Structure 1
């Protein structure tokens, strides 16, 4: 079976070129992006949270699947990276770019829950996990990536991943599926 992504976002080539220019190598891969677009399509008039904008490749995939009434909030601590995403995607009124640390944002946020939470950075995944999961609406989806070993993982990161997976497996309020695909994914749906 061919897992070529369906209709990549128009902004993707420009985002990738700018990522190369600044040496950013942690962007969303095409298979994960294609899944993000499908998941955002499944949430008409929904609320989506992305933790870790990076240069905006995941953001572009989410926007590609969203309808006109869906809203995306994306949080990034590196202003130079988020500036690239804003430059390429900022004209889209469905997205709100939030500069700052994802952990601090999670601590301070007091709004309505989200239908989809994509945690693509440490906060919401390796830190502030419970808070991120609390923000998933009943029937909503929590997605994380980058769980398969990579040669550039820092020492001890494999232990952190195993601990994270064990913590998620112990939760009764989410139904989970691990996907040994793309960069290694875990998708969890909150029980209604």
Structure 2
């Protein structure tokens, strides 16, 4: 079976070129992106959240699958990196880009709950998972990637991943499945 995505977001090439210019090597890969688009399509009119915009590759895939009446809030702490996303995706009225650390955003968010959260940074994944889950409505999807060893990992990162993989299935308010596919994924549903 060929699991190469058959359709891709139009802005993907420009986003990758922007990542190359900034030497940003932490964008989601195409198979993960294709899954994100599929999961976003399962939430028509939904409110989606991305923690860790990066240059916008994950956001592009989410937007690719979203319905016209859905919305995506994407949070990134590095304004220079997120500027690439703003340049190539910022005209999409479904997208709101926020410059803030995920920790600060988790401390201050007080809006309505989300139907899907894609977490591509440490907060909401390796710490503060409970805080993030509190912002998801029952039935919401929780998606993380980069659970298989990556060339970009610092030397002390594997123990974080190991703890996450050991502890997350014990969370009483989610049902999760890990996938040894793409960069290593977890897809969960908020109970």
SS of the equivalent of 2:142 reads: strand
**2:11 aligned residue:** 11
Q: Is the 8 A contact 1:18 1:84 kept in 2?
A: yes
1:118 counterpart = 2:114? no
Distance 1:91 1:189, change over 3 A: same
Cα distance in structure 1, aligned partners of 2:107 and 2:119: 15
After superposition, give the CA deviation of every residue in 1:109-129 in whole Å (9 maximum; x if it has no partner): 011111000000111111221
- Unpaired segments of 5 or more residues in structure 1? none
Listed as ranges, the matches of 1:51-90 within 5 Å are 51-90=51-90
Q: What corresponds to 2:35 in structure 1?
A: 35
Matched residues in 1 for 2:70 and 2:145: separation? 23
TM-score calculated relative to the size of structure 2:
0.97
Normalized against structure 1, the TM-score is what? 0.97
SS of the residue corresponding to residue 186 of structure 1 reads: strand
Q: Distance in 2 between matches of 1:151 and 1:85?
A: 23
Give the Cα–Cα distance (whole angstroms) in 2 for the partners of residues 15 and 6 of structure 1: 18
User: What is the alpha-carbon distance in structure 2 between the residues aligned to residue 18 and residue 105 of structure 1?
Assistant: 25
Corresponding residue of 2:49: 49
In structure 2, the partner of 1:157 is 157
Question: Where does residue 141 of structure 1 map in the other structure?
Answer: 141
Change (3 A) 1:87 1:152: closer
The match for 1:92 is 92
| 1:103–1:127 contact (8 Å) kept in structure 2 | no
CA distance in 2, matches of 1:184, 1:145: 6
Structure 2: state its 5+ residue gaps.
none
Matched, 1:169 2:152: no
Counterpart for residue 24 of structure 2: 24
